[in-house]
Amino acid sequence: MCVLFIAKNVSKQYPLIIIANRDEFYQRPTTAIKHWAKSPIIAGQDLEAGGTWLGITANGKVAALTNIRDPQRVNPDAISRGNLVSHFLTSSDSTNAIKAQLLSSADSYNGYNLLFGDKEQLQVFNSASRQFSTVGPGIHGLSNAQFNAPWPKVVLGKKLLTDYLTGNESIEGSALVAILQNSQQADDDSLPATGIPLDIERALSPLFIHNKARNYGTRCTSVLLFSASGAIDFHETSYDSLGQITTKAHFSA
């Protein structure tokens, strides 16, 4: 997962909204959202490592993952980060126990942010800083750095989401997908310095990425809508290596 946005207690219709883009190499095998067999997890699945980048359960748990961009500290032998999401969704441990597990295991993974919780309480764990952040009311963004770090794509996404939610009482999933299909590239002087070449930093700066040269881009857009009654609508739009829509999936819980 490359970027996600959270609107908490902003919309009366949906007290919690999460929208996200997953960016990945096109050749990495993936399934669309489904109810996993013999599991409470509702999510897409990475068929290479078996985990997921974003998922829910029917009883309202939610978790999502973004990588921390730090090329100098990449361990090719690290455990796949996708199991962090599936572990939380299947765990019956207390919040304090989960926090302790995340702290004790952080060095086993390459850098990540984990969003986890439910409609009432959400937190973000940053494995590099070992810090937990509580998601309060308002609109928040998370990419490949700290929670709400002002990367250009985070600033743009928060503004687009704010403008849409402010101007519309009735929320449409398709309009939220359209926000994350924005391919505006950031100006060079606003790009973060993460240790990768400038041309790659540019290519990774939009909300929606399509980098044919690297065979890498946005693979899917996810929209999670948590209603006041407790219902959850999970929408997923998937894209091919040309950046075109291939499938749309929907799951209600």
Residues 6+ apart with CB under 8 A from 173: 223, 225, 233, 235
- Roughly how many angstroms between the first and final C-alpha of the chain, as a whole number? 22
What are 134-139's contacts with CB under 8 Å, separation 24+? Answer: 135/6, 135/8, 136/8, 137/8, 137/9, 137/10, 138/7, 138/8, 138/9, 138/10, 139/5, 139/6, 139/7, 139/8, 139/10, 139/165
pLDDT at position 124: 98
In tens, the pLDDT along 132-148 reads 999 999 999 999 999 99
pLDDT value for 57: 97
Using the predicted structure, report yes or no on whether residue 64 has a pLDDT greater than 90. Answer: yes
Average pLDDT over residues 237-252: 96
> Taking 80 as the threshold, does the pLDDT of residue 1 lie above it?
no
What pLDDT is recorded for position 169? 85
Please give the average per-residue pLDDT across 63-91, as a whole number: 95
Residues 17 and 6: beta-carbon distance below 8 Å:
yes
Q: How confident is the model at residue 116 (pLDDT cuts 50, 70, 90)?
A: very high
pLDDT, mean of residues 20-43: 96
What pLDDT does 213 receive? 87
Q: What is the mean predicted confidence (pLDDT) over 108-125?
A: 97
**Residues 188 and 198 sit within 8 Å (Cβ to Cβ):** yes
- Indicate the average pLDDT of the chain: 96
For 86-97, b where at least 16 C-beta lie within 10 A, e where not — what string?
bbbbeeeeeeee
Q: What is the pTM of this model?
A: 0.97
Q: What gap in Å lies between CA 196 and CA 242, rounded to an integer?
A: 24
Percent of the chain with pLDDT strictly greater than 90: 95
The average pLDDT across 121-130 equals 97
Cα 142 to the center of its chain, rounded Å: 8
Q: Which domains does the chain have, with CATH numbers?
A: 3-252 (3.60.60.10)
Q: Do 33 and 48 form a contact (C-beta atoms < 8 A)?
A: no
